[in-house]
A = this chain, B = another copy of it.
Amino acid sequence: MKEIQVQSSSHLYNITIGEAIRFQLKDFIASDYSSVYIVTDESVADLYLQEILENFSETKVSHFIIPAGEKSKNINSFYKLHTHALKNGLDRNSLIIALGGGVVGDLAGFGAATYMRGIDYIQIPTTILAHDSSVGGKVAINHELGKNLIGNFYPPKAVIYDVETLQSLPKKEIRSGYAELVKESLIADKAFFNTIIQTDLQTLTNKQLQEHILVGIKIKASIVESDEKESGIRKFLNLGHTLGHALEAELGYGFLTHGEAVAIGLLFSLHVSEEIYETKMPYLPLIEWLKTNNYPTGMHQLEPDALISKMKTDKKVVNQTIQMVLLKGIGEPTMKEINDHDLKIYLNSFVQRLVGE
């Protein structure tokens, strides 16, 4: 079992990573909550809800189950979460538990942030991808005009990461999670990047997975501690996300997983970084690793203009100009304003390069 502490603006919280710790939640949760409200999705509920409920035999507990998938992260689910919580008598001393992946974590966290102006919540991530979203307190729902546009910065009281729950993940979800690990490595840790691209996701061991998640969370935690509200370096965590989010929105949520879209976004960031800084980035090793591990890398049917339009609903846009995270080298992220004209040129040359590889 490993513990990482994160100092947020309002409190200190622990991220605990271990095996089978979902059966001993009481070790990590204060005992004086008046009630517990578990938010999860249909798929995770089938696998783990009963086990989680058994931790609370002496506490008043209720739950709220959403359909699995990004489409649940909307204003209607948000309102229903409140309605159901009110009907179950949740009060200001209640605890919300987010049991699931990023969609559940973001929705439940935003529910907690806004329920009676804010109650405690805990993240119990059940995907690799959620190693990223469960740490740092970014909570949100999607707007029909873009992802994560309605939300708060609201750190959890604890993150309890039972890696046993990752064993049943489909390959697509493993790929999705590893894209964020690649991102973290590119931002902060060249050795970690080299480790990942030597890892075969088909034969991934539990030991490897735990090690990688631990490094990823440490990078993430260190960044959000320095800049919780994303006024500076936290923006670097959006590496690959400007195009990634646009791809998800343009193709329709669910067509690509978040991580699959981010993986293409990371390639694009490397491509633009090479163009602008005239430096050699690991574009080739990354695309080879992505292909070996069955990430979708074809996007040549997409219109640059449509993508640019979607990119403009990104929260990093200021004065209608797109801000991209680029790299001067691995571990050397930087922010760069890119005008529409240049962006279109980069998108076109990127698509050609993808087709050519």
Residues of A within 8 A of B (CB): 9-10, 34, 75, 79, 82-83, 86-87, 89, 91-93, 113-118, 138, 140, 143-146, 148-153, 229-230, 313, 315-320
Contact = CB atoms under 8 A, between A and B. Distances in A.
A114 B150 CA distance: 5
Given A83-B143, A117-B230, A118-B229, 18 more contacts: A34-B319, A83-B144, A86-B143, A86-B146, A86-B149, A87-B145, A89-B320, A91-B318, A91-B319, A91-B320, A92-B315, A93-B319, A114-B114, A116-B315, A117-B148, A117-B153, A118-B153, A152-B152
A308 to B, nearest CB: 14
28 contacts: A9-B10, A34-B318, A34-B319, A75-B75, A75-B79, A79-B143, A79-B150, A82-B143, A82-B149, A86-B143, A86-B145, A86-B146, A86-B313, A91-B315, A92-B315, A92-B318, A93-B318, A113-B152, A114-B150, A114-B152, A115-B150, A116-B149, A117-B138, A117-B148, A117-B151, A117-B152, A117-B315, A118-B153
Nearest to A317: B91
Q: Which of A79, A117, A144 has the most CB of B within 10 A?
A: A117
A231 B143 CA distance: 32
Contacts of A86: 143, 145-146, 149, 313
A82 B150 contact: yes
Nearest to A144: B83
A148 to B, nearest CB: 8
In the complex, the 8 A-B pairs of residues with the closest C-beta atoms, listed nearest first: A116-B315, A117-B151, A86-B145, A91-B318, A114-B150, A34-B319, A75-B79, A93-B318
A113 B149 CA distance: 11
Contacts of A113: 152
Contacts of A115: 149-150
Nearest to A313: B86
A75 B320 CA distance: 28
Contacts of A92: 315-316, 318
Nearest to A119: B315
Contacts of A34: 318-319
A230 B320 CA distance: 39
A22 to B, nearest CB: 27
Contacts of A229: 118
Contacts of A116: 149, 151, 315
Nearest to A35: B319
A314 B340 CA distance: 50
Contacts of A83: 143-145
A115 B148 CA distance: 9
Contacts of A82: 143, 149-150
Nearest to A138: B117
B140 A117 contact: yes
A306 to B, nearest CB: 17
A138 B116 CA distance: 10
A37 to B, nearest CB: 14
